[in-house]
Chains A and B, each alone.
Chain A
Amino acid sequence: KAGVTQTPRYLIKTRGQQVTLSCSPISGHRSVSWYQQTPGQGLQFLFEYFSETQRNKGNFPGRFSGRQFSNSRSEMNVSTLELGDSALYLCASSLGQVLIGEETQYFGPGTRLLVL
């Protein structure tokens, strides 16, 4: 069974641009969660989608948005990029919702975004 895939793996953007990251969960998984990891702020939760609905959202500005499609694939979008958005963005999939204690999570390799 294929694991969680994230594309692209590396990305360089400039301030003010927008970016879209993609996450394909393990086949059959219905929940996708996104996380941001930076040296300064550490690991932070962005949002969780389950069956195309955003179920939980972290404390991030509205520039960060996401969606989930009917095939469970998910995208996250960051508009008007700032230098501080440079980070490793991790995606995880699970059969059910993880944050309310239902399932095991499986993580993708991440997308490393550099904003210049």
Chain B
Amino acid sequence: AQKVTQAQTEISVVEKEDVTLDCVYETRDTTYYLFWYKQPPSGELVFLIRRNSFDEQNEISGRYSWNFQKSTSSFNFTITASQVVDSAVYFCALSEASGGSYIPTFGRGTSLIVHP
């Protein structure tokens, strides 16, 4: 079973629309970390956010916001007023302890296409 599920393979929106990327995770650990990364067409990954399992506060950074809900094991990412430069593949990841090590598991990614 996948530990991190990004059910949306591809999302297409028009500029200025709001868009939410879903991430559902599975873990038995009480201590874990969740991440979001962006991979633009250039290929270079960009770290966006990390959230630990004890901090359920939502976070906002400019046009980006993240909604962490332990009750539904979800860590969703919303882009407000999308722009063409937001076009990229977005990955959600879960880092949980395994035999003393923290091993991140990535979702398959959601490709976001923002049309002008």
Interface of B is mostly: strand
For residue A105, CB closer than 8 A to chain B, the reply is yes
Scoring B residues 19 to 51 as 1 if CB is less than 8 Å from chain A, else 0, what string do you get?
A: 000000000000001000000001111110010
Structural contact, A45 and B103, CB atoms closer than 8 A: yes
Residues of B within 8 A of A (CB): 33, 42-47, 50, 52, 91, 93, 95, 101-109
Pick the contact of B103: A59, A92, A104, A106 (CB < 8 A): A59
Q: Given A43-B91, A99-B95: A107 and B106 within 8 A (CB)? A: no
Residues of A within 8 A of B (CB): 35, 42-45, 55-59, 88, 90, 92, 98-101, 104-110
**What 6 A-B pairs have minimum CB-CB distances, sorted nearest first?**
A99-B102, A43-B106, A105-B47, A107-B45, A56-B101, A45-B104
Q: Given A43-B106, A55-B101, A59-B103: A101 and B33 within 8 A (CB)? A: yes
Give the CA-CA distance A100 to B35 in the complex, in Å.
11
Give the CA-CA distance A57 to B102 in the complex, in Å.
8
Pick the contact of B33: A55, A100, A110 (CB < 8 A): A100
A94 to chain B, nearest CB (A): 8
Structural contact, A57 and B43, CB atoms closer than 8 A: no
Give the CA-CA distance A98 to B51 in the complex, in Å.
11
Supply 19 further A-B pairs (C-beta < 8 A) apart from A42-B109, A105-B47: A43-B91, A43-B93, A45-B104, A45-B106, A56-B101, A56-B102, A59-B103, A88-B43, A90-B45, A92-B45, A99-B33, A99-B102, A99-B104, A101-B50, A101-B52, A107-B44, A109-B42, A109-B44, A110-B43
Residues of chain A lying within 8 A (CB to CB) of residue B108: 42
A82 to chain B, nearest CB (A): 22
A2 to chain B, nearest CB (A): 14
Residues of chain B lying within 8 A (CB to CB) of residue A104: 47, 50
Residues of chain B lying within 8 A (CB to CB) of residue A100: 33, 95, 102
A5 to chain B, nearest CB (A): 12
Q: Looking across the interface, which residue of chain B has its beta carbon closest to that of A100?
A: B102
Enumerate 30 A-B pairs (CB-CB under 8 Å) in ascending A order.
A35-B45, A42-B107, A42-B109, A43-B91, A43-B106, A56-B101, A57-B101, A57-B103, A59-B103, A88-B43, A92-B45, A92-B47, A98-B47, A98-B50, A99-B33, A99-B95, A99-B102, A100-B33, A100-B102, A101-B33, A101-B52, A104-B47, A107-B44, A107-B45, A107-B46, A107-B47, A108-B44, A109-B42, A110-B43, A110-B44
